């Protein structure tokens, strides 16, 4: 028999809109995110990239100022998790280096980094070990385990590994012939990529060996790079956005620039969700306060 008890039960079971908003099934949020990221990839919005950041301009200016024949050290310390962000930056910087006639030396402290060096060399230089200038203008040292000790040993003696990643003897390469000290101080610029940390290249290459260093780093660790900017580093690229900015600066928009629309909508959707959640939270707090009084 329906009575007052039933009516009270009904109102207790009925959640308010605010409560429902705060307890939404996460699967709806995943679906919204999926749609918001996929749509602009299929149907680009054409949002302008906007102002190029000073960090990106700093790195671009520093690399642009290097004369022809300068040795640029690329520490491609990234795995698949960071490659989506840092590979476009790596390729954009390599294109710039190629234009300026710089000599390139590659290294990685992570086993999965080697295929990304290969991919970048194939995409930008056209070939890796089979390139006619490999051994003269380009060298791929490959993987050295133990990031800090391994790199320190390599920096003190560039022939530490004896051979490059393909097994070619380093001492017989023309790349190293005219180097005065055969240590890291012979490098003219160093760039680190990946999601490990940025300060390692300042600590182990820039400060001890006097090499100016920058980064094409994942956005997740970019916040750590700001204490070193601009006194210790001329600049760095922040994730996919930094790669897009660099592509615009070298006049070759590519992979990174194409992903910015999706990035924009994804960020906007997360911000809107955070704001909705906070508004619902504040309103329910106010309602709870009013009910108590």
Partner 1 sequence: MSALESLVVLGAAGMTLALLSYLWRENLFFRIAEHAYMGTAIAYGALLSADAALRILQPHLQKGEYIWLLTVVLGILYLFFFAKQYFFLYRYPTAIVMATGIGVSLARGVKTNLLDQARITTLVTDVSSALIAVGVICGIFYFYATMEPKGPLKAVSSVGRWFLMAAFGAQIGLHVMARTSLIIGRIRFLFFEPPANYMIPVAIIMLLIGIFMDYRKKQP
Partner 2 sequence: MSIINSELLRRYLPWGIAAFLIILTMADTVVIEPTINSLASSALQSSTVVGAFVVIISVLLISRIHVRRVSRKRTVIESSVLLISMWGTLVWGFFRLFGAGVGPTSDTTILNIFDMIVSPGDSTVFAILAFFIASAAYRAFRARNLDSAILLVVAILCMLAKAPIGETIFGLGIVKLTDFVLNVANTAGRRVFLMAMILATIALTIRIILGYERGWMGRATE
> Which residues here bind partner 2, judged by CB under 8 A?
22, 24, 26, 29-30, 32-34, 47-51, 53-54, 79-81, 83-84, 112, 114-115, 118, 142-146, 149-150, 152-153, 156-157, 160, 165-167, 199, 208, 219, 223-224, 226-227, 229, 238-239, 241, 260-261, 263-271, 273-274, 276-278, 281-282
- Rounded to 5 degrees, what are φ and ψ at 104? -120, 135
The single residue among 7, 17, 24, 41 that binds partner 1, judged by CB under 8 A, is 41
Buried residues in 264-279 as b, exposed as e (16+ CB within 10 A): bbeeebeeeeeeeeee
Whose CA is closest to 87, among 49, 48, 52, 118?
118
| Cβ count near 18 (within 10 Å) | 18
- Which of partner 2, partner 1, none binds 210 (CB below 5-8 Å, type-dependent)? none
CA atoms within 13 A of residue 162's CA, in its CB half-sphere = 1
CA 38 to chain centre: 21
Among 15, 19, 24, 30, binds partner 1 (CB under 8 A): 30
Q: Indicate whether 105 belongs to the interface with partner 1 (CB under 8 A).
A: no
Q: Where are the beta strands (DSSP E) in the chain?
A: 71-76, 103-108, 138-143, 189-194, 212-217, 236-238
- Which parts of this chain interact with partner 1 (CB under 8 A)? 27, 30, 33-34, 37-38, 41-42, 81, 83-85, 111-112, 114, 142-146, 148-149, 152, 159-163, 167, 195, 199, 202-204, 207-208, 218-220, 222-223, 227, 231-232, 238-241, 259, 262-263, 266-267, 270
């Amino acid at each position: 028999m329906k009575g007052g008890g039933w009516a009270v039960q009904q109102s207790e079971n009925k959640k308010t809109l605010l409560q429902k908003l705060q307890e939404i099934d996460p699967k709806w949020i995943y679906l919204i995110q999926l749609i918001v990221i996929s749509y602009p990839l299929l149907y680009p919005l054409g949002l302008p990239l906007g102002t190029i950041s000073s960090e990106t301009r700093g790195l671009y200016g520093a690399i642009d100022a290097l004369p022809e024949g300068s040795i640029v050290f690329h520490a491609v310390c990234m795995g698949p998790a960071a490659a989506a962000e840092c590979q476009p930056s790596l390729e954009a910087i390599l294109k710039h280096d190629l234009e300026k006639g710089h000599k390139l030396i590659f290294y990685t402290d992570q086993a999965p980094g080697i295929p990304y060096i290969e991919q970048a060399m194939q995409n930008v230089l056209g070939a890796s070990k089979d390139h006619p200038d490999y051994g003269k203008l380009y060298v791929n040292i490959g993987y050295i385990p133990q990031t800090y000790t391994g790199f320190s040993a390599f920096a003190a003696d560039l022939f530490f590994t004896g051979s490059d990643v393909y097994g070619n003897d380093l001492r017989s390469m023309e790349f190293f012939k005219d180097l005065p000290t055969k240590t890291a101080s012979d490098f003219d610029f160093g760039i680190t990529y990946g999601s490990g940390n940025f300060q390692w290249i300042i600590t182990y290459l820039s400060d001890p060996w006097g090499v100016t260093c920058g980064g094409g780093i994942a956005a997740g660790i970019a916040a750590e790079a700001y204490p070193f900017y601009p006194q210790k580093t001329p600049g760095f690229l922040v994730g996919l956005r930094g790669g897009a900015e660099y592509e615009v600066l070298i006049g070759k928009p590519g992979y990174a620039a194409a992903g910015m629309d999706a990035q924009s909508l994804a960020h906007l959707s997360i911000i809107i969700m955070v704001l909705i959640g906070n508004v619902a939270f504040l309103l329910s707090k106010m309602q709870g306060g009013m009910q108590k009084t």
